[in-house]
Structure 1
Amino acid sequence: MRTDSRARSWRARTAAAGTAAAALLGGSLIATAPAAHADPGPGINQQVGVPAYFHPGVPSGGTAWATLASGPGTPGLTVVNIANGPNFEENAPNETFKTAIRQVRQAGGKVIAYVDTGYFGTNTIGAPKTTRLGDTSIAAWRIQIQHDVDKWYRLYGPEIDGIFFDQGQNSCGPNGTNAYADEYRALTAYTKRNHPGALVVDNPGIDIPQCYENAADIQVTFEGSYADYQAFTPPQWELDADPAKFWHLIYETTEAQMPSAVAQSKQKNAGTVYVTPDQLDPNPWDSLPGSSYWSSELAAAKVAPTTAPATPAQPTAGTTSATSVQLSWPNAGPSTVAGYDVYRDGVRIGSVPHRTTGTSQFTATDLNPSTAYAFTVRARNDAGVLSAASPARNVTTSAPGANAPGVPGSFTGATAGPTSVQLSWTASTPGSAAVEAYDIYQDNARMATVPASQTSARLGDMTPVPPTRSTWSPAMPPVGCRRTPRRSR
Structure 2
Amino acid sequence: MIPSAARQGGANATACQSQSTNASVIPWAPQAACNTICSTVTPCDAQNITTATITGRGANPTRDPPAAQGQQIAVASYINPLSDPAAWDRLIQYDAHKMPILVANVVDGPGSAVDVHWQDVIQRAADANKTVLGYVRTGYLGISDQKFQTRLGLGGLADWAAQIEEDVDMWYALYGDRIGGIFFDEGWPNCGDENEHVNLYKYINAYTKRAHPGAYTVLNPGSPMAACFEDSMDTLLTFEQGYNAYLNHYVPNNWTPQDPRKLWHIVYNVTESAIGDVLTLANERGAGFLQLTNDDLPNPYDTLPEDSYVQSMLNAIRGGSLLIADAVDWGSGGAAGGVADLTVVSSDDTSATLSWTAATNAQGYYVYMDDRLVASIPSSMTEITIGSLVSGSRFTGYVCAVGEGGKEGSASNQVTVITKSLVPDGQTVIQA
SS at match of 1:142: helix
User: Deviation digits for residues 252-281 of structure 1, max 9, x if unmatched?
Assistant: 111111221122111111111010011112
Between 1:12-21 and 1:189-198, the stretch displaced more is 12-21
Query: Could you say if the C-alpha distance between residues 274 and 127 of structure 1 is closer, same or farther in structure 2, counting changes exceeding 3 Å?
Result: closer
Q: Is the 8 A contact 1:169 1:204 kept in 2?
A: yes
1:70 paired residue number: 93
Q: CA deviation at 1:241?
A: 3.0
Q: Which of 198, 201, 213 is the aligned partner of 1:181? A: 198
SS at match of 1:18: helix
Cα distance in 1 between the residues matched to 2:322 and 2:291: 25
In structure 2, list runs of 5 or more residues that go unmatched.
Answer: 20-30, 35-58, 403-407, 409-432
SS at match of 1:256: helix
Q: Which of 72, 78, 82 is the aligned partner of 1:57? A: 82
Cα distance in 1 between the residues matched to 2:170 and 2:180: 14
Q: CA deviation at 1:130?
A: 1.2
User: Deviation digits for residues 305-340 of structure 1, max 9, x if unmatched?
Assistant: 9xxxxxxxxxxxxxxxxxxxxxxxxxxxxxxxxx99
2:180 paired residue number: 161
* Amino acid paired to 2:330: D
2:301 paired residue number: 285
* Amino acid paired to 2:306: G
In structure 1, list runs of 5 or more residues that go unmatched.
Answer: 22-32, 306-338, 342-346, 351-363, 368-397, 466-471, 473-477
Query: Could you say if the C-alpha distance between residues 18 and 48 of structure 1 is closer, same or farther in structure 2, counting changes exceeding 3 Å?
Result: same
1:148 and 2:62 aligned? no
Q: Which of 335, 342, 352 is the aligned partner of 1:421? A: 352
Matches within 5 A, 1:189-200: 189-200=206-217
1:309 paired residue number: none
Cα distance in 2 between the residues matched to 1:437 and 1:10: 32
SS at match of 2:362: coil
Query: Could you say if the C-alpha distance between residues 137 and 415 of structure 1 is closer, same or farther in structure 2, counting changes exceeding 3 Å?
Result: closer
Cα distance in 2 between the residues matched to 1:71 and 1:190: 32
User: Deviation digits for residues 164-218 of structure 1, max 9, x if unmatched?
Assistant: 11111122224xx422222211221111122111111110111112111111110
2:8 paired residue number: 11
Q: Is the 8 A contact 2:226 2:254 kept in 1?
A: no
2:318 paired residue number: 302
2:40 paired residue number: none
User: Deviation digits for residues 341-364 of structure 1, max 9, x if unmatched?
Assistant: 7xxxxx9517xxxxxxxxxxxxx5
Cα distance in 2 between the residues matched to 1:290 and 1:442: 50
1:459 and 2:423 aligned? no
Query: Could you say if the C-alpha distance between residues 150 and 185 of structure 1 is closer, same or farther in structure 2, counting changes exceeding 3 Å?
Result: same
Matches within 5 A, 1:380-395: none
Q: CA deviation at 1:366?
A: 3.5
1:224 paired residue number: 241
TM-score normalised by structure 2 residue count: 0.76
Between 1:242-251 and 1:44-53, the stretch displaced more is 44-53
Question: How many residues matched?
Answer: 362
Q: Is the 8 A contact 2:77 2:301 kept in 1?
A: yes
- Structure (1/2) with the larger helix percentage: 2
* Amino acid paired to 1:242: D
Between 1:41-50 and 1:114-123, the stretch displaced more is 41-50
SS at match of 1:189: helix
Q: CA deviation at 1:71?
A: 4.1
Q: Is the 8 A contact 1:76 1:109 kept in 2?
A: yes
Q: Is the 8 A contact 1:113 1:162 kept in 2?
A: yes
Q: Percent identity?
A: 33
Cα distance in 2 between the residues matched to 1:449 and 1:19: 29
1:484 paired residue number: 398
Cα distance in 1 between the residues matched to 2:387 and 2:227: 34
Q: Which of 361, 364, 386 is the aligned partner of 1:437? A: 364
Cα distance in 1 between the residues matched to 2:177 and 2:95: 26
Cα distance in 2 between the residues matched to 1:188 and 1:222: 21
Query: Could you say if the C-alpha distance between residues 427 and 419 of structure 1 is closer, same or farther in structure 2, counting changes exceeding 3 Å?
Result: same
Q: CA deviation at 1:42?
A: 6.6
Q: Is the 8 A contact 2:362 2:401 kept in 1?
A: no
2:329 paired residue number: 365
* Amino acid paired to 1:39: P
* Amino acid paired to 2:76: P
Cα distance in 1 between the residues matched to 2:95 and 2:344: 55
Cα distance in 1 between the residues matched to 2:217 and 2:201: 10
1:110 paired residue number: 131
SS at match of 2:240: strand
Matches within 5 A, 1:24-63: 39-41=61-63, 43=65, 45-58=70-83, 60=84, 62-63=85-86
Q: CA deviation at 1:236?
A: 5.4
